[in-house]
């Protein structure tokens, strides 16, 4: 393609994505659906003109997805407000993420194994990506909820991302080694790995904080992101849960470094860190927007409409959606001792992480861990249906049905504090 056409096309795609985001904020209709539809339509038009060479996407999509995953986890961690008075909400978000994730994996894999006759190991591997909530979609879509529910969605979806990826990597490693999943020895080993990663993450976080405060060069935040991506990639090679490093750094940075142990925090300028936080948050948000734009566009472009001619993927996707909603209804009914549906019942969209893990399954060489029954068509339909269910929930519980709350935007408050500090 001519360079001039590419330079026209790329800015137009970013502009369309920005407009989709504006539509999403006004209508609560997820922008990622519009991005995927745009990609699918673009592929259809390209096919009409004989352009079917899309093999380059096989390498590009996983790279964009991995960078997007790191940025999304970072963005979600930066939004987590860790304070003593919120301990109960944080714990309830973690517990909900863990139990709902485990129940989804159990019921979806049972459906795959018993009804679709997929081998048990493959059924488990394919059920995990379909059980993880997408924080990149859930958090922006929760803007219309009351403050407590909105914060719960932030905690639950972020923990779901982290736990889902840790469980997926653990399960994949065990099955590739032909070892049992629920064995005491590997679980203990995983536990100590996580403890080790947390300790190493604290050291890396301290180093990055010092680096953030010591760099005088005008380019420093992309250097921090580059180091984090490097740490994640090295950890992934050795099958370590290195995403925890991204998560921990984001939490400590988002809370101004005040969560660091005293022997580390005493040499950190907490006030200077708070000033840097606002700039770093903006960079992370805009980088996430850009990567997410091209990831979902390219993912949609890799899909052909003729592959959706059979009825089976639709049936499987609907059953999976019923399981997802059913598990959430069961959990919240028992935990809240109320059988009345609430807005958070529908806040369970699937997205980038599900796609990325599916792509990772495709790169596995073990034929025993693969199936042609559950493929990208089922994945895409589950993503779309889960987002439509979320839209239904948002429409069912309109803003007029929710008590009005006045709250100061976090960004504005932080900016005002930063300006005051600068003036002082």
We report the CATH number of the domain holding residue 214 as 1.20.1530.20
Q: What pLDDT was estimated at residue 405?
A: 41
What is the full per-residue pLDDT of the chain (424 aa) written as tens digits?
567 777 888 888 888 888 888 887 777 778 888 888 888 888 888 777 777 666 667 778 888 888 888 888 888 788 777 777 788 888 999 999 999 999 999 999 999 999 999 998 889 999 999 999 988 788 878 877 888 888 888 889 888 988 998 888 888 888 777 777 777 777 888 788 788 888 888 888 878 877 777 777 677 778 888 888 888 888 877 767 777 888 888 887 777 666 666 666 666 666 666 667 777 788 888 888 888 888 888 888 888 777 777 899 999 999 999 999 999 999 999 988 777 888 888 999 998 889 888 888 877 777 777 888 898 889 989 999 999 999 888 887 764 444 434 343 444 444 444 444 444 4
CA distances from 404 to 31, 79, 142, 343, 397 (A): 26, 22, 15, 15, 13
Alpha carbons 130 and 242: distance in angstroms, whole number? 22
Closest CA to 241 of 173, 157, 156: 173
Q: What pLDDT was estimated at residue 420?
A: 47
Alpha carbons 241 and 201: distance in angstroms, whole number? 11
- What is the extent of the structural domain holding 46? 3-423
Closest CA to 27 of 382, 292, 285, 395: 395
Phi, psi at 356, each rounded to 5°:
-65, -40
Q: What pLDDT was estimated at residue 421?
A: 46
Structure tokens at 228: 């984090």
Question: What's the sign of the alpha-carbon dihedral 202, 206, 211, 212?
Answer: positive
In 28-48, alpha helices (H): 31-48
Phi, psi at 419, each rounded to 5°:
-65, -40
Structural Rg of the chain based on CA atoms: 22
Q: What pLDDT was estimated at residue 170?
A: 85
SS3 298: helix
The tally of domains found in the chain comes to 1
Q: Which residues of 153-191 are buried (b: 16+ CB within 10 A; e: fewer)?
A: bbbbbbbbbbbbbbbbbbbbebbbeeeeeeeeebeeebe
Alpha carbons 1 and 21: distance in angstroms, whole number? 28
Alpha carbons 277 and 49: distance in angstroms, whole number? 48
- Secondary structure letter of residue 238 according to DSSP: T
């Amino acid at each position: 393609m001519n360079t001039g056409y590419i330079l026209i096309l790329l800015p137009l795609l970013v502009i369309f994505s920005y407009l989709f985001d504006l539509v999403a904020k006004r209508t609560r209709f997820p922008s990622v659906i519009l991005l995927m539809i745009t990609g699918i339509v673009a592929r259809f038009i390209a096919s009409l003109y004989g352009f079917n060479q899309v093999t380059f996407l096989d390498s590009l999509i996983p790279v964009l997805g991995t960078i997007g995953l790191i940025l999304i986890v970072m963005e979600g961690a930066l939004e987590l407000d860790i304070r003593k008075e919120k301990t109960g909400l944080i714990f309830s978000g973690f517990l909900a993420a863990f139990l709902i994730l485990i129940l989804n994996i159990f019921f979806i894999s049972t459906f795959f194994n018993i009804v679709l006759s997929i081998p048990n190991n493959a059924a488990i591997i394919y059920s995990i990506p379909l059980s993880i909530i997408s924080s990149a979609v859930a958090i922006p879509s929760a803007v219309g909820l009351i403050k407590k529910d909105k914060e719960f969605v932030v905690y639950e979806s972020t923990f779901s991302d982290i736990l889902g990826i840790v469980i997926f990597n653990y399960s994949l490693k065990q099955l590739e080694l032909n070892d049992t999943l629920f064995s005491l020895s590997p679980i203990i080993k995983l536990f100590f790995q996580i403890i080790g990663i947390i300790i190493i993450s604290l050291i890396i976080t301290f180093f990055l904080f010092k680096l953030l405060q010591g760099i005088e060069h005008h380019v420093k935040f992309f250097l921090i992101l580059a180091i984090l991506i490097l740490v994640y990639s090295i950890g992934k090679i050795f099958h370590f849960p290195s995403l925890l490093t991204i998560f921990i750094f984001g939490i400590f940075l988002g809370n101004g470094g005040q969560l660091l142990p005293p022997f580390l925090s005493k040499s950190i300028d907490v006030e200077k860190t708070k000033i840097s936080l606002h700039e770093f948050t903006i960079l992370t948000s805009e980088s996430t927007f850009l990567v997410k734009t091209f990831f979902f566009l390219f993912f949609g472009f890799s899909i052909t409409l003729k592959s959706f001619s059979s009825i089976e993927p639709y049936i499987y996707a609907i059953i999976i959606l019923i399981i997802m909603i059913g598990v959430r209804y069961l959990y919240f009914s028992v935990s809240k001792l109320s059988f009345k549906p609430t807005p958070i019942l529908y806040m369970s969209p699937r997205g980038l992480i599900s796609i990325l893990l599916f792509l990772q399954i495709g790169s596995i060489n073990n034929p025993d861990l693969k199936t042609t029954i559950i493929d990208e068509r089922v994945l895409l339909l589950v993503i779309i249906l889960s987002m439509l269910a979320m839209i239904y929930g948002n429409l069912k519980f309109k803003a007029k049905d929710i008590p009005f709350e006045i709250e100061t935007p976090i960004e504005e408050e932080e900016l005002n504090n930063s300006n005051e500090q600068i003036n002082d």
